[in-house]
Structure 1
Amino acid sequence: MPNASARPKHGRRTRRRRREDPARNELVSSSLESAQQCLFNQDYGTAFVHYLLVLNLAPMFKDFARESFRFTLFKWTEELDSVGRIQELFDCYEQALELFPADEVILNSMGEHLFRMGFRDEAAGHFHKALKLRPDYPEARENFYRVANWLVERWHFLMLNDHGRNRKYQQAIQKAVQSGCNTVLDIGTGTGILGMCAKKAGAAEVYACELSKTMYELACEVLTANKMDDGIKIVHMKSLEMEVPKDIPQKVSLVVTETVDAGLFGEGIIESLIHAWHHLLLPPQVRAIYKHTQRTGNRT
Structure 2
Amino acid sequence: MEKKKSLRHFMGQEKVAGYVFSLPFIIGFALFLMIPMVLSLYYSFCKYDIQNAPTFVGLRNYVNIFQDEVFWKALKVTCYYALIGTPLKVIFALIIALILCRDTKATGLYRATYYLPSIIGGSVAIAILWRRMFESTGIINAFLSLFFPGMSNFNWFSESSAIWVLIILTVWQFGSSMLIFLSALKQINKELYEAAMVDGANKWKQFWRITLPLLTPTIFFNLVQQTINSFLAFTQSKLITNGDPKNSTLFYTLYVYNKAFPTQGKSQMGYASALAWIMLIIVSTVTALLFLSRNKWVYED
- Interval containing the TM-score (normalised by the shorter chain): under 0.3
**Structure with larger RCO (C-alpha < 8 A, sep 6+):** 2
Larger helix share, 1 or 2 = 2
TM-score (norm 1): 0.21
Larger strand share, 1 or 2 = 1
Structure with greater Cα Rg:
1
